[in-house]
Amino acid sequence: MHLHKLTTHNFSFEAGGTLDQLEIIYHTSERPYQQGDRVVWLCHALTANSDPLDWWPEMVGEGCCVNPDKDYVVCVNIFGSAYGTTGPRDFWTPEAESQKPRIPFSFPKFTVRDTARLFTLVREHLGIEHVDLLIGSSIGGFHALEWAIMEGERIRKAAFIATAPRVSPWLSAWMEVQRMALEADPTFRACESLDGGRKGLEAARAISLISYRSFDGYNLTQYETDDDCLFASRAASYERYQGEKLIKRGFDAYSYYYLLHCVDSQNVGRHRGGVKAALAQIQAKSIVISITSDGLFPPCESSEWAKQIPNAQYFEIESRFGHDGFLLETEQITKIINSLEFRV
């Protein structure tokens, strides 16, 4: 996959505010796009980057469901990511380097719809008229749903995996408790450097991991094997490791804070007459995939809104790993996407 940067100007946000200059980072197949290429557009999840080979290697690559050598693959880095697209971290300028020091909190709040507009800017820049297959999982599914509505007939087929057209109270509560963890770190509000809020970020990330997995998932991977164990420690060690890992990946607390707010913005029905009316506008031949143990986007929710997309097919995949099943159960997902009913 090849890294690109697109610079645009005067971007206005849905919630208010503008950017004089915006840099959009995205990855594509190594070769240039040519008319007639089969275009596969991938939408990444909350803390991933725009290189799907990095975070979905069992789905993207030679011999996989999506092959960048055969398909023309595009993935755009979303607003709030720490991996290149202009975001809150770019609004921190040390006082010594500027007469008007900026802080991350001065970055405009962005919505799912704002990020979907980035996709259109990249599509137009590349000269792509139609997307043959749009795939979005988790928060990437938020963006895929929004973009499928925005782009109409330009999206020919779409797969929405472990996601929803509107944020639920349950999901919003998980976002808030993570923000509370960030705000409890005094260095977060101090904004003395981009290292501010690191301990809060570690705690927030650990909280999120619990929501991503399941009772069975933790028992399978973090169960104490010592029958005489005095104090359980494996799960605790795993939580701390995950918190530290996100920081080692280059994430900062301010980007994460904004992303959590962005999740709360998901509502495809806003100014479209409600969710049902908005989903009815999707023209892509669509599939909706939910995961049996997903506590964030349970099948009881997904099976209902899937009915509101014209002629959509609904599938459930078996997994003991909760929401993270979209990353782990790639064989089942590949089988569904490659099904004759959808592929033809």
Task: Summarize pLDDT for 182-233 with one digit per residue, the tens.
Answer: 999 999 988 888 899 999 999 999 999 999 999 898 888 898 888 898 888 8
Tell whether the model's pLDDT for residue 44 goes beyond 60: yes
Residues 228 and 140 reside in one and the same domain: no
| DSSP-based helix, strand, coil % in the chain, nearest 5 | 45, 15, 40
Using CB atoms within 10 Å of the CB of residue 272, give its burial: 0 to 12 exposed, 13 to 18 middle, 19+ buried: middle
Q: Give the model's confidence band at 96: pLDDT under 50 very low, under 70 low, under 90 confident, else very high.
A: very low
Distance of CA 20 to the CA centre of its chain: 25
Q: Which amino acid is at 64?
A: C
Say how far apart CA 109 and CA 88 lie, in whole Å. 9
Residue 163 and residue 95 share a domain: yes
Q: Per the residue annotation, which of 27, 44, 143, 323 is the catalytic one?
A: 323
Is 81 marked active-site?
A: no
| Cβ(163)–Cβ(173) below 8 Å | no
**251 and 273 share a domain?**
no
Question: Catalytic one among 29, 50, 81, 138?
Answer: 138
Q: Position 51: which residue type?
A: D
Q: Which of 268, 275, 266, 279 is nearest to 311 (CA)?
A: 279
The predicted structure's pLDDT at residue 4: 97
Per-residue tokens: 194:
């981009």
* Residues 72, 159 share a domain: yes
Q: Is the pLDDT of residue 291 over 70?
A: yes
* Catalytic residue flag (residue 323): yes
The 8-class DSSP code of residue 144 comes to H
> Which residue, 227, 262, 297, sits at the end of a domain?
262
When pLDDT is averaged across residues 118-124 and rounded to a whole number, the result is 98
> Are residues 125 and 20 both part of a single domain?
yes
Between residues 136 and 90, which one has the greater pLDDT? 136
**DSSP label at residue 31:** S
Q: Specify the DSSP element, H or E, that contains 74.
A: strand 72-76
Whether 26 and 147 map to the same domain: the answer is yes
**CA gap 114, 132 in Å, rounded:** 22
Tell me how far apart the alpha carbons of residues 33 and 148 are, in angstroms, rounded to a whole number.
21
User: CA gyration radius for the chain?
Assistant: 20
Q: What is the pLDDT of residue 185?
A: 96
Question: What are the backbone dihedrals phi and psi of residue 126, each rounded to the nearest 5 degrees, phi first?
Answer: -80, -10
- 225's CB contacts (< 8 A; 6+ apart) are none
Checking if the pLDDT of 234 tops 50, the result is yes
The stretch 304-328 carries a mean pLDDT of 96
Q: Are residues 157 and 78 in the same domain?
A: yes
Q: Mind listing the pLDDT tens digit for each residue in 145-160?
A: 999 999 999 999 999 9
- Alpha-carbon span 74 to 54, nearest angstrom: 14
Residues 47 and 149 in one domain: yes
Cα–Cα distance measured from residue 147 to residue 144, given in angstroms and rounded to the nearest whole number? 5
- Tens-digit pLDDT profile for residues 160-177: 999 999 999 999 999 999
Averaged over 11-20, what is the pLDDT?
96
* Contacts (Cβ under 8 Å, ≥6 apart) of 199: 185, 187
> Do 220 and 328 belong together in one domain?
no
Give yes or no: residues 78 and 122 share one domain. yes
Domain harbouring 62, CATH code = 3.40.50.1820
Single residue among 262, 281, 297 that ends a domain in this structure: 262
Write the single-letter amino acid at 264: D
Q: Residue 200 maps to which CATH number?
A: 1.10.1740.110
Is the same domain home to 29 and 128?
A: yes
Whether 201 and 220 have beta carbons less than 8 Å apart is answered as no
Domain end (from 262, 295, 321): 262
Mean per-residue pLDDT, 333-341: 83
- Count of domains forming the chain: 2
> Which has the closest alpha carbon to 121: 258, 262, 263, 4?
4
Q: What is the 3-state secondary structure (H, E, C) of 209-242?
A: HHHHCCHHHHHHHHCCCCCCCCCCCHHHHHHHHH
**Residue 302 appears among annotated catalytic residues:** no
The distance of Cα 261 from the centroid of its chain, to the nearest Å, equals 13
Same domain for 190 and 162, yes or no, is: no
* Residues spanned by the domain of 141: 2-167+268-343
Cα 295-208-161 angle, rounded to 5 deg: 50
pLDDT score of 146: 98
Q: What confidence tier does 99 reach under pLDDT thresholds 50, 70, 90?
A: very low
pLDDT at residue 80 tops 50:
yes
From the list 294, 302, 319, 324, the catalytic residue is 294
